[in-house]
Amino acid sequence: MTSVLNPYISFTGQAREAMEFYKSVFGGALTLNTFGELAAQHGGDPDQIMHALLRTDSGFTLMASDTPPGMPHNPGDNIAISLSGDDAEDLRAYWKALSDGGTVTVPLEKQVWGDEFGACVDRFGISWMVDIVAPQA
């Protein structure tokens, strides 16, 4: 097995809602495990998410959980998730869904390096960057 790197996002009671939203954006299969289901000794609310895993048809993997009581939580200030590639149609659709109800910090438009790029903070406080690679001449 090769090594992989996956974004893992912490929430405070919104992990289920956020991951269901991301599934609606990206599609794929979502697995949700609660603190109660996993009999977590040090977990929080038994109905909150101890571990969520979204594997999309495009090959993206996104993980998340709700932060147990007593652990620090600083949403969005130390992570940005970058989506990039040349499938402009898919990337524009992701952008539209992620920025809806959020805050656009950089509009998705052509940049000086030739790509279309945009940045936003979604309605859950997570920073996203979308880069549509310019076609090679």
Residues 6+ apart with CB under 8 A from 128: 80, 81, 82, 83, 98, 99, 119, 120, 121, 122
* CA gyration radius, the chain: 16
Is the pLDDT at 1 greater than 70, yes or no? no
pLDDT tens digit sequence for 75-129: 666 678 999 999 999 999 999 999 999 999 999 999 888 899 999 999 998 989 9
Query: What integer best gives the mean pLDDT of the chain?
Result: 88
Select the highest-mean-pLDDT range: 9-18, 20-29, 40-49.
20-29
Q: How far apart are CA 117 and CA 83, in angstroms?
A: 10
Q: Which long-range contacts (CB under 8 A, 24 or more apart) does 47-53 make?
A: 48/13, 48/15, 48/16, 49/11, 49/15, 49/16, 49/19, 52/15, 52/16, 52/19
The answer to whether 56 and 26 have CB atoms below 8 angstroms apart is yes
Phi/psi at 25 (nearest 5 deg)? Answer: -75, -50
pLDDT at 70 over 70: yes
Whether the per-residue pLDDT at 132 is higher than 70: the answer is: yes
For range 5-32, the mean pLDDT: 94
Residue tagged 């090959």 (tokens)? 59
Q: Specify the pLDDT at position 39.
A: 66
Give the global pTM. 0.82
Say which residue, 27 or 78, is predicted with more confidence: 27
